[in-house]
């Protein structure tokens, strides 16, 4: 699918409803946290392809981060990933961040084809991949 098939408002509204969030702004902040964290754990090609499938604003969240040395962590635990999401979301509860991450993953997967779903899964550490696959 292309990013022209869904608006950012629809994207956030779905995350808000599925994640039991109060406002679209909360959904936007959660989406930023998940995509920003995810962006550091994907290869450049997969990240670009995924960004093309997302609405414009979430796509920027995925691609905007940088690190002086960006080395993907092949054994990143789900707890570490969730802690990063929680920190970027302004929330300190990694258990809530893990549940919320699954909501964002699920919405993203509705926008992409099966080949890209598999490409994202291949790039992720085993524990984060399990959450991606289950979403």
Q: Closest Cα partner for 11 from 107, 135, 112?
A: 107
Are 27 and 21 contacting, i.e. CB atoms less than 8 angstroms apart? yes
| pLDDT per position as a tens digit, 31-59 | 999 999 999 899 889 999 999 999 999 99
pLDDT in tens, the chain (135 residues): 444 468 999 999 999 999 999 999 999 999 999 999 999 899 889 999 999 999 999 999 998 865 545 566 778 999 999 999 999 998 778 889 999 999 999 999 999 999 999 999 999 999 999 999 999
Give me the pLDDT at residue 6, please: 85
Give me the pLDDT at residue 2, please: 42
Domains, the chain, in order of start with CATH, read: 8-134 (1.10.490.110)
Give me the pLDDT at residue 70, please: 57
Residue 7 CB coordination number (10 Å): 13
């Amino acid at each position: 699918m292309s990013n022209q098939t869904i608006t950012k408002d629809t994207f956030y509204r779905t995350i808000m409803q599925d994640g039991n969030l109060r406002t679209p702004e909360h959904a936007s902040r959660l989406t930023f946290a998940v995509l920003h964290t995810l962006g550091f754990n994907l290869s450049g090609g997969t990240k670009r392809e995924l960004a093309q499938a997302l609405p414009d604003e979430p796509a920027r969240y995925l691609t905007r981060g940088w690190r002086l040395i960006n080395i993907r962590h092949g054994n990143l635990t789900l707890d570490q990933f969730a802690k990063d999401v929680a920190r970027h979301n302004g929330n300190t509860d990694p258990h809530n961040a893990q549940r919320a991450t699954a909501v964002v993953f699920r919405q993203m997967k509705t926008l992409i084809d099966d080949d890209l779903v598999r490409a994202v899964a291949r790039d992720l550490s085993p524990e984060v991949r399990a959450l991606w696959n289950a979403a």
